[in-house]
Structure 1
């Protein structure tokens, strides 16, 4: 979950300058058709990786809570419940990447 979220942050940080330039100039920084393919496949791969990270996060949190049900340490359940928050953020990233994947496939089909 940690490495998938770091990978998602790096991919987003690489996309932000290109998106800002496109919004300001109304044209792509590099007018190459291959850049559209990189966006298309990158969005697909990132949405799949983030989806796998979300599944792992929710599953691990549920299993750890169940494993420590009988423990007398009440704070450990609070700690495990906080990992649900991290999983929700990765879920939001997964949904954002899926939406970006739709937009990149539309751009690829237009050949912009």
Structure 2
């Protein structure tokens, strides 16, 4: 999309002086926000499990609404309804996924457990 906008002249390629002026910000966005954030996210998902990680990342828009409200933004009834529906869907899906995981990992009765004893 950016390439098309640049080719059509809608966006201009920045000159060397512009890039030099923003090199600190670009370095931060590339190294800290880009690389370290992805590594941290992956480490967090390993520690928490992917199910909890998905729940967390999907709550980012809801967190944004909370911060906006605390900053003085007045949400409409439709936005509040959307936030409630989002939270309900996330929690419901998370509980359903956990139920599926428990069902798949359950050892059926009569199957020998570790050590040879049947459950």
Tell me if both proteins adopt one fold, taking TM over 0.5 as the criterion: no
Q: Which structure has the larger Rg over C-alpha atoms?
A: 2
With the shorter chain as reference, the TM-score category is: 0.3 to 0.5
Q: Give 1 or 2: higher helix fraction.
A: 1
When normalised by structure 2's length, the TM-score is 0.41
When normalised by structure 1's length, the TM-score is 0.43
Q: Which structure has the higher relative contact order (CA within 8 Å, separation 6+)?
A: 1
